[in-house]
Amino acid sequence: MNSWIHVLSLDLAVVAIAAAVMLVDALLSLRGKSLGWLVVAALTGVLAASFFVDVVGVTPHGAYVSDAWVLFFKRVFLVAAILGILGSIDWLEQRASRRQAEYYALVLFSLVGMMLLPGARDWVLLVVAFELMGVPLYVLAGYAKNDGEPDSPKLAAEAALKLFVTGAASSTFTFFGLALLVGLSGSTMIGQGVQPSPLASVGLLMIIAGFGFKLGAVPFHFWVPDTYQGAPTPFVSFLSVAPKAGGLAALCVILMSTGWIGSHELWGPAIVLLSVASMAVGNLFALPQTDSRRLLGFSGIAQIGYVLIALAAATEQGLAMALFFIAAYVFTNLGLFLVVHAAAENMGGHGIAQMSGLSRRSPWLGGALLVFLLSLAGIPFVIGFWAKLFVFLEAYRAGLIVPVLIGIVLAVVGLFYYLSVARSTFMAEGTSDARIHSGLALRAAIGICLAAVVLFGLWPDPLVEGANAAARAFMAGR
């Protein structure tokens, strides 16, 4: 028997870290921020290892395949987890200092689930990995149970419950669709093609609906603004990016199960519909928001619409640019939520109006906020510009002209509300002149995101090539 354990070495390393965190918490009871920093260091080690350890291979019976595609996603997840944890360290120490280890362990287990998703080639493994990703998130969403804003202390409970109920409902969709597909093909292997039939279409649509929930695509988006508002903001920075990348990976694997391009007619229109609906609802509902977290929630729905439009192109390059977009989104949105968190901690709330004068009180945070907003809006020389442009380019090339036109128009609408946040932070004179202080870890996380957004914005080629290689590997392995 060939050795195959190296294929899962990165995932096992994360499991080991998670187990170590719980053991350390039980035996040593570390105080202060050291545990958080240790987790970050360990994950950084895993990330570095991903560049040196050979993880390409297949597990017995082909249930798990690891290649450049899987590696790309694993790095994205690791980066998101590192930055998300880095941004949480200070908040945890202040607000929940006795519950730190649980937080890290839950994030790590969710991370393991995500890392297993893109390589899963067996329906059972895929669903288990997806639930492993999702269940810790329910707990984390309610983590700020004692920490709600004074006037509405129940927000955390609402956040967690909404996420859980929608999540549970979507799981039932997935299971039902799976039952149909597996029943038709007679095998739990994803690679086994399904012959097109009305029943297969129903099954596939059910599964897309189930996974669409994690993506937060319309019409499965209702949890997004409420959860973003009620859950702890540093956690939302992670929640708003990593599970979406996970959902995207899972969606690709599922669509591949039907032969990807060959069955384009089967799922293409469904994805286009999801995409256009997400862009429209996200962008338009973001307009009247007054809470920055809710605004970013709707903006996130819109951004997912842009990803899906590239996926709907059903080409290798389209897939590659969806990956590029999601990688760009990780840096941008994570950084943006962390800035909002840093600002809200000092300015007494998450309302957009409460952030007025941010750039005067902290030019550094104000500048970072502006850069992230511009990146989401798709303005040049930040990474989001390339992401949005490449996505439109590929979708246009694949003939999705009307959705692209709608997307471009809505992108201008998006600019309006992104700029209105910038107006509050840059133009309005705040009530206070006091400098804003934020912890080292939080500043480091924001700084890394900022550097990535700007540097990849100036020279996107490495990331484009990485996404291309990943997509190529995926298409070859199908």
Partner 1 sequence: MNHWLSLIVAAPAIAAACLLVLKPDQKLAIRLVSLVGATVALIGSLVVAATYDRALGGFQMLESYPLVPSYGIHLKLAVDGWGVALLILTGIIIFTGVLASWSVPKRDKEFFLLLLVLVSGVFGVFVSQDLFVFFLFYEIAVLPMYLLIGIWGASHDVRAAGPFKYVWKRFAVGGKEYAAMKLTLMLLVGSAAVLVAMLMLWASPGVQTFDLQALERASFSHTTQMWAFPLLWLGFGSLAGVFPFHTWSPDGHASAPTAVSMLHAGVLMKLGAFGVMRIGMVLVPDAAATWAPIVGTVAVINILYGAFCAASQTDLKYIVAYSSVSHMGVVMLGAATMTPNGWNGAVYQMFAHGIMTGLFFALVGLVYERAHTRAIAKMGGFAHPMPVVAAFFTLACLSSLGLPGTAGFVAEFLVFVGAAQSQHWWWTIPGVLGAFVTAVYVLRACKTIFWGPVPQGEYAHLADARKTEWAAPLVLGSALVLFGFWPRFLLDSIDGASATFLQRVTTVAEVSK
> Which residues sit at the interface with partner 1, rule CB under 8 A?
359-360, 363, 374, 379-381, 385-386, 389-390, 392-393, 396-397, 404-405, 408-409, 411-412, 415-416, 419, 422-423, 426-427, 459-461, 464-465, 468
Closer residue to partner 1, CB minimum distance, 90 or 394? 394
Nearest CA to 243 among 106, 345, 339?
106
- State the nearest-atom distance from the C-beta of 217 to partner 1, in Å: 23
- CB-based burial label for 360 (10 Å; 0-12, 13-18, 19+): middle
Residue 415 CA to residue 380 CA, distance in Å, equals 13
- State the nearest-atom distance from the C-beta of 312 to partner 1, in Å: 16
- State the nearest-atom distance from the C-beta of 408 to partner 1, in Å: 5
Closer residue to partner 1, CB minimum distance, 169 or 476? 476
Residue 134 CA to residue 111 CA, distance in Å, equals 10
- State the nearest-atom distance from the C-beta of 449 to partner 1, in Å: 18
- State the nearest-atom distance from the C-beta of 57 to partner 1, in Å: 28
DSSP assignment of 355-385: GTTHHHH-HHHHHHHHHHHHHHHT-TTSHHH
Closer residue to partner 1, CB minimum distance, 156 or 374? 374
Nearest CA to 284 among 188, 401, 410?
410
- Distance between first and last Cα of the chain: 24
Nearest CA to 251 among 226, 220, 227?
220
**Distance (Å) of CA 12 to CA 104, 207, 467:** 16, 28, 24
Closer residue to partner 1, CB minimum distance, 124 or 405? 405
Which DSSP letter does residue 434 get?
A: P
- State the nearest-atom distance from the C-beta of 421 to partner 1, in Å: 12
Closer residue to partner 1, CB minimum distance, 162 or 388? 388
- State the nearest-atom distance from the C-beta of 415 to partner 1, in Å: 6
Angle of CA points 165, 278, 87, to nearest 5°: 65
Closer residue to partner 1, CB minimum distance, 71 or 404? 404
User: Which pair of structure tokens corresponds to residue 326?
Assistant: 């999601």
Residue 449 CA to residue 458 CA, distance in Å, equals 14
Closer residue to partner 1, CB minimum distance, 69 or 220? 69
- State the nearest-atom distance from the C-beta of 427 to partner 1, in Å: 5
User: Which pair of structure tokens corresponds to residue 132?
Assistant: 């492993």
Closer residue to partner 1, CB minimum distance, 208 or 415? 415
- State the nearest-atom distance from the C-beta of 111 to partner 1, in Å: 31
Q: Are 88 and 103 in contact (CB under 8 A)?
A: yes
Residues whose CB falls within 8 Å of the CB of residue 399, separated by 6 or more in sequence, listed in order: none
Give just the sign of the alpha carbon dihedral 118, 110, 39, 25.
Answer: negative
Which DSSP letter does residue 237 get?
A: H
- State the nearest-atom distance from the C-beta of 345 to partner 1, in Å: 24
For 262, phi then psi, to 5°, come to: -55, -35
Please state whether the peptide bond connecting residue 219 to the residue before it is cis, i.e. omega within 30 degrees of 0: yes
Q: Are 355 and 343 in contact (CB under 8 A)?
A: yes
Nearest CA to 373 among 382, 364, 361?
382
- State the nearest-atom distance from the C-beta of 412 to partner 1, in Å: 5
Helix (H/G/I), strand (E/B), else coil: 365: helix
Nearest CA to 89 among 375, 357, 440?
440
Closer residue to partner 1, CB minimum distance, 331 or 386? 386
Closer residue to partner 1, CB minimum distance, 167 or 414? 414
Closer residue to partner 1, CB minimum distance, 339 or 373? 373
Residue 87 CA to residue 104 CA, distance in Å, equals 12
